[in-house]
A and B are shown apart, each in its own frame.
Chain A
């Protein structure tokens, strides 16, 4: 086994040296003209959410520190750990009691070999659909609850293994991106992962601010199933709006969500107040297949949500609120939450200014 791994590594190194060389030739002269520093960073988000589902309240304190350690300008070690508390009232009316759950969401070594190839090794967020890679972060998500279809294509949320990603082709008019990955099975605490292989590709039109993509994944253990997603997002520059949508399908069900978020900065009255206020609308529909389950509802479910978020202090702080109504056979319920989120970004040591 060892022998093969060494052979593989040697092969990788030789190719990588070649790829890096190609980039260095054309960019090293340019890098001299920037004062950008590569000091390690601790960033991430923290928040506190009071969540009520069907009349039952829970308190959800959360902190997600992200550690970024660069080795030169081509290799980056990045990790993110999630600590989420889950506190409910004892017997429905007593004191709040609960526990804090910890999980390593990613701990990966990225080697930015060239525009076309970044090789990733370690634990990484599975690149499937728009979540979790883009919108899972506490300080990014407009709606704190992930979409109903969130469990499709993300067994255990993260994968342990390798990934290649990068730009497949780029012109002034569009960029085509790809990611291809393989994850092994792991039962290790906090690093649990399923044996899966998959890929994601998207095309981005920068002038039109439109992105369209698709993901595919095959589970390579137990009941081997395929999962797929199609997604699109549009963020016009003329109006402070962003619209995104995703359709997901797996053996256990299919569904879609559509989300539109608008900053009220164009309101002619009390602009100072409204420019930081965001209103979000989301609609979802899910139909189980083959009994559903596996993190998905077992009955047809629809849900509509409205969010009202207020951003302040360089968008680092937010007061968030969300009201939703979920409709599913005989069990309609209200879901709402209020809370705050904070994004932090700190150099690990002073370094040059």
Chain B
């Protein structure tokens, strides 16, 4: 098969620069206004966080499919990470879910 010129140097640079700027901006945004940044102290957050985990589970985990009733704790982190990508969940939602599913 003949080698094809898929993208020009210029396109690569423009796309990478755009990606960088986007990530940078989002990083700054995350620092200043992410839901997790505004969280109360860990102890106080504990109880309300379990409730939050339950809520996140109820609201999100049956959106696309029936979730299994039990996920072995040793893979809960992996599965929730996968679902965070698939369902575009926030990091705060992921953390609350982990605490609810694998306390």
Binding site for B on A (CB under 8 A): 1, 4-5, 7-9, 11-12, 14-16, 18-23, 25-27, 29-31, 33-41, 43, 68, 70, 73, 76, 78, 110, 112-120, 133-135, 137, 139-140, 162, 164-167, 170, 175, 177-179, 182, 184-185, 187, 195, 204, 206-207, 209, 211, 233, 235, 237, 311, 314-316, 343, 345, 347, 350-353
- Beta-carbon contact of B70 and A314 below 8 Å: yes
- Beta-carbon contact of A15 and B45 below 8 Å: no
B residues less than 8 Å from A18 (CB atoms): 24, 27-28, 31
CA distance A140 to B66 in the complex (A): 8
B residues less than 8 Å from A70 (CB atoms): 77-78, 81
| Neighbour of A211 across the interface among B63, B77, B81, B86, CB < 8 A | B63
Interface centre among A5, A27, A36, A315 (most CB of B within 10 A): A36
Min Cβ gap B73→A in Å is 5
Q: Residue on B with the closest CB to A184?
A: B6
A residues less than 8 Å from B4 (CB atoms): 185, 187
- Beta-carbon contact of B98 and A34 below 8 Å: yes
20 pairs across A/B with beta carbons < 8 Å? A7-B13, A11-B20, A12-B23, A18-B27, A35-B103, A37-B76, A68-B81, A110-B85, A116-B30, A119-B19, A134-B86, A140-B65, A165-B85, A170-B90, A178-B88, A187-B1, A311-B66, A345-B79, A347-B75, A351-B75
With A36-B77, A76-B85, A353-B73 already in contact, the answer to whether A30 and B95 are too (CB < 8 A) is yes
- Beta-carbon contact of A22 and B27 below 8 Å: yes
- Beta-carbon contact of A206 and B81 below 8 Å: no
A residues less than 8 Å from B68 (CB atoms): 314-316, 343, 345
Contact with A along B48-88 (1 / 0, CB 8 A): 01000001001110111110111111111111111011101
Q: A4-B16, A140-B64, A207-B59 are in contact. List 19 more A-B contacts (CB 8 A).
A: A4-B12, A8-B19, A11-B16, A14-B20, A21-B31, A26-B37, A34-B95, A34-B98, A37-B76, A68-B82, A112-B81, A113-B26, A139-B65, A178-B88, A204-B63, A206-B59, A209-B59, A235-B63, A353-B73
Per the CB 8 Å criterion, the residue count for chain B at the interface is 69
A residues less than 8 Å from B23 (CB atoms): 12, 15-16, 19, 113, 117, 119, 164
With A7-B16, A114-B91, A119-B19 already in contact, the answer to whether A76 and B82 are too (CB < 8 A) is yes
- Beta-carbon contact of B39 and A26 below 8 Å: yes
| Neighbour of A117 across the interface among B7, B26, B66, CB < 8 A | B26
